[in-house]
Amino acid sequence: MPLIDIQQLSKMYYSIGEVAEFLDVNTSLLRFWEKEFQFEISKKNKKGNRLFTVKELEKINKIYQLVKIEGYTLDGAKKALKSKEPRPVANSENNVEVVISRLEAIKIKLLSFKN
């Protein structure tokens, strides 16, 4: 599943269509997340089209990671966004450690379901 590579972005603003294409989702899903996770879009053009900044794309990436990749419910993702410290970006130096810790957490959850 795709994530937006924040380090590869070169523009200041991205349209909702571009963001949807990056993540391979519908634009309606991004609009839904905007309402559901109550984040403000900092800029709209004269037509009212949403223009996303890199900071907003980072938040969308976190939501995508939680909901689509890790399988959180929307309520669970909201709680995770509020309670957890910032999640590492995919291309960080400690990527192996991050992956291992996530896998260990998933293993614990799966074992709890088994019992």
Mean pLDDT in consecutive groups of 10 residues from the start of the chain, 115 residues: 71 89 93 89 84 89 90 89 62 64 84 81
Q: What does pTM read for this prediction?
A: 0.66
CA–CA separation, 80 and 7 (whole Å): 24
pLDDT for position 28 = 95
Q: Does 1 fall in a domain?
A: no
For residues 64 and 93, membership in a common domain is answered with no
pLDDT for position 86 = 54
For residues 70 and 112, membership in a common domain is answered with no
CA–CA separation, 22 and 35 (whole Å): 20
Residue 29: C-alpha distances to residues 68, 72, 94, 96, 114 (Å):
11, 15, 31, 30, 33
For residues 26 and 76, membership in a common domain is answered with yes
CA–CA separation, 110 and 100 (whole Å): 15
For residues 60 and 74, membership in a common domain is answered with yes
Please report where in the chains the tokens 């403000």 appear, as a residue: 40
For residues 107 and 60, membership in a common domain is answered with no
For residues 71 and 105, membership in a common domain is answered with no
For residues 73 and 97, membership in a common domain is answered with no
Structural domain total, the chain: 2
Alpha helices in 65-94 (DSSP H): 74-83
- Non-local CB neighbours of 23 within 8 Å, separated by 6+ positions: 2, 3, 4, 60, 64
Q: Which domain does 20 fall in, by range?
A: 6-84
Output the six-digit token pair for 45. Answer: 């053009």
Q: Which amino acid is at 56?
A: E
